[in-house]
Structure 1
């Protein structure tokens, strides 16, 4: 595919100096363009690197209310508030406002797979890249996972696989993805988007930018996106409705992942736990078949896929219980999926920054499978309020206390699951730091035992 022409404005303003902001600076300077950079933080994380490696960039400090004189284009890092006065003024003046993924779309040459959804994006992107042969085969993954999209261009990839958040899709309009994948839509980032309709609309922006869609037939909001699509392949938890659909088949010899009536792989061979990960693999397999990969070769690589940290990751323990780190579950949908995929009683550790979610659906899920609930962080009161009244409930001030409380509640053979259903920023740097704190607390118990 020929890259979309870019008119190359000479004066760019980059908002946000994290990894994505730095990738924008690097890309623009390499093209001989002028770059100024602003951030709401006094010392953003990449400021030292900017000053050391890119002295030609103009660090201007705080975000102004008006576009600087001579500014021709504004480029956003993910997560920059859409209602900034600067952006309102820029649009009123007719300035282009885009993100790094849109800039990537104008310059990439390789076939592109784009994956979005509330949960499972990183796992599906990693599965697709790994099962297609990985970097050794010229397959590179990035976007909201790993490398910023623009950094992939230097690798001259044969296939790009991008994870895209709702924030990134808001500022992207010309992807031309060979395959676009929408996994699911559940409450997340409502503090940013306002309501579910606006959040869903942001995800649905991928529909008009993809040649073929892989959609979850079990999710009503995702299924509704098919109305605007020219080509759709479906996946879901039940039996396929036709030979081109992907699903799950309960047979005498166990559960199988299938395409139509064709058995692809037995569920007990999967390296990832949970029903939601079976669906993630179905989406990945559908994508790879659309791209022309041989299924036998794809499935042979499945045995070497080890999963991603902090996503349904078992923490070693000798105490007769299974400890699972699912710290990446930063919204309720992810936690509900984790609970549904486990077949033993669960003591759940949940809480953090709530992000405007309604936690009411957690109550019935806890009633079905939970032995107990330990709540942490800012959302502790909200989570406590939806718990069944007869469910043992503990409140913990920090992660070691949460782990101790969960251990006291759990029986031998139970699962103790950290799946917070919330962001981490009230107590931790990020979800990874939260997951590491959980693992360290579990390991500390092992040492004391």
Structure 2
């Protein structure tokens, strides 16, 4: 069941969660004439500063979900809240339908083209690249392109701005997709699938099922791009109702629509092939991100010239293998966006400088094993510095792969690494964990790493 505003005219809307997405949904619904109850289990002091400018039509309750929620005609679930939470059981028992913020946003959008990106890793880089490509194509046509979703810009604040000639580029996480049934993008992708958010979804099967929703509602004329080198992606592609395009960073030609050759990217659209220099970013994963973004953009009106111009000027995204500074020959790298083990694997494969890494690991465990890190740690890590709640588990699983020191906090980890590192070494924050035990989010963690590294003398 997708959200149709006309069916709920005159009803009061319930928004669960006063985070960025919840607040954006509350503002949008109030603007569209709905009375809104914004309900959060946290105490008011935790989110009161974010309520500034909230419309009068929005009533706010904090510290729990009162019986007032059952007087609402429909509910909007903020992403990340577990579907098994008691509040959603109460709503289900009362027969109150629950929608995602994404569904609410798209119901009020007139976007001419919707492009949606998901995958375990690489989503933000791919979305940023795709947004720049679609903006380049839009400038040529005198239209616009908007970027929103899981990269920090709520869909409910952005999607309604898009008109019939505009493009809407969305990064969608498994949290957002699991609650959505009305998503039908013109172009979609699944970059890769590896274990992540298992604590939230309850297992890998449910996580994969959430990701598959990105193409479940696509029409036959739409396009969905998959990574041929990821076995889970190949399995999902067999279920996709849209036209499937594959890219690969390890093989060429055949059924592929994009591949690498002599350091360049090759794109094939129909009978026509052309080559492009990739963005100047390290690692095979960034070649894959660029191929995926390029294929999606080409399917929605971009030209080879757009790819060449955008790729040449792209500098990457904040908090993803971001060089912060070099001090006395030691390089400090912020990879706070590595919130899962597979992303840290990618980070350890990228430098290629020998056994010279001081690796900061830890945070809030997400249920995936850390054992896949062992061979890379043995090959490239001088010392592991553990932080956060996951520290004991990480130490247990990686014992013997490298010396391990428990630092507990990011500040102590940086001080320990700075005191012992030698010229040519690298201090890498690539935590393989969520950040919520000590920080608001991975951006806050990355910003703190940058601030602390900047203060080192």
The two structures have a TM-score, normalised by structure 1, of: 0.90
CA distance in 2, matches of 1:292, 1:335: 35
**Equivalent position to 2:194, from 152, 167, 186:** 186
1:16 matched to 2:28? The reply is no
SS in 1 for 2:313: coil
Aligned to 1:90: 91
Is the 2:247–2:256 Cα contact (8 Å) retained in structure 1? no
> Equivalent residue for 1:245?
257
Work out whether residues 223 and 245 of structure 2, in 8 Å CA contact, stay in contact via their aligned partners in 1. Answer: yes
Q: Is the 8 A contact 1:132 1:288 kept in 2?
A: yes
- Give, in whole Å, the separation in 2 of the partners of 1:355 and 1:226: 26
Q: Deviations over 1:270-295 (max 9, x none)?
A: 23222211211111111111112101
Q: Is the 8 A contact 1:366 1:388 kept in 2?
A: no
The answer to whether structure 1 residue 108 and structure 2 residue 106 are counterparts is no
Corresponding position of 1:236: 248
When residues 417 and 263 of structure 1 are mapped into structure 2, their CA distance, relative to the original with a 3 A threshold, is farther
Distance across 2 between alignment mates of 1:63 and 1:212:
43
**For residues 331-357 of structure 1, what are the alpha-carbon distances to aligned partners after superposition, in whole Å with 9 as ceiling and x for unaligned?**
111111111222113331111111222
1:257 corresponds in structure 2 to: 265
Spell out the pairing of 1:63-142 with structure 2 (5 A cutoff).
Answer: 63-64=64-65, 68-110=69-111, 111-133=113-135, 138-142=144-148
Match of 2:314 in 1: 305
Gaps of 5+ in 2: none
Aligned-pair CA distance for 1:244 = 4.5
CA RMSD in angstroms comes to 2.4
* 3-state SS of 2:408 partner: coil
3-state secondary structure, aligned to 2:414:
helix
Q: 1:245 to 1:410 in 2, by over 3 A?
A: farther
SS at match of 1:132: helix
The residue number in structure 1 matching 2:209 is 201
SS at match of 2:238: helix
Q: Select between 67-76 and 77-86 the one with higher mean Cα deviation.
A: 67-76
Alpha carbons of structure 1 residues 440 and 23: separation in structure 2 relative to 1, 3 Å: closer
Alpha-carbon separation, structure 1, partners of 2:116 and 2:71: 34
Deviates more, 1:357-366 or 1:394-403: 394-403
Moved more, 121-130 or 290-299: 290-299
2: CA distance, partners of 1:309 / 1:52: 28
Taking a change above 3 Å as real, the CA distance of residues 178 and 342 of structure 1, as seen in their structure-2 partners, is: same
Question: Are 1:164 and 2:172 an aligned pair?
Answer: yes
Q: For structure 1, which segment, 38-47 or 233-242, has the greater mean C-alpha deviation from structure 2 after superposition?
A: 38-47
Unaligned runs of 5+ in 1: none
Partner SS state of residue 133, structure 1: helix
Q: Please give the alpha-carbon distance, in whole angstroms, between the structure 2 residues aligned to 1:263 and 1:363.
A: 40
Match of 2:443 among 406, 411, 432: 432
Cα 1:276–1:386, aligned 2, differ >3 Å: closer, same or farther? same
For 1:272, the equivalent position in structure 2 comes to 281
- Which deviates more from structure 2 when the two are superposed, residues 166-175 or residues 341-350? 341-350
C-alpha contact (below 8 Å) 2:120/2:193 kept by paired residues: yes
Residues 135-150 of structure 1 aligned to structure 2 (within 5 Å): 138-150=144-156
Within 5 Å, give how 1:321-340 maps onto structure 2: 321-340=330-349
Which consecutive aligned stretches of 4+ in structure 1 deviate over 6 angstroms post-superposition?
A: none
Q: Secondary structure at the match of 2:44?
A: coil
Q: Report matched runs for 1:353-372 at 5 Å.
A: 353-372=364-383
State the secondary structure of the residue aligned to 2:170.
strand
1:396/1:46 Cα in 2 relative to 1: closer, same or farther (>3 Å)?
Answer: closer
Asked if structure 2 preserves the Cα contact closer than 8 Å seen for 1:362 and 1:386, the reply is no
Q: Could you report, residue by residue, the CA deviation over 1:202-229 in whole angstroms, capped at 9, with x for unpaired residues?
A: 1111121233211111111222111211
Q: What SS does the corresponding residue of 1:238 show, helix, strand or coil?
A: coil
| Larger mean Cα displacement after TM superposition, 32-41 or 392-401 | 392-401
* Cα-to-partner distance string for 1:259-316 (whole Å, 9 max, x where unaligned): 259553345xx23222211211111111111112101122212233222211110112
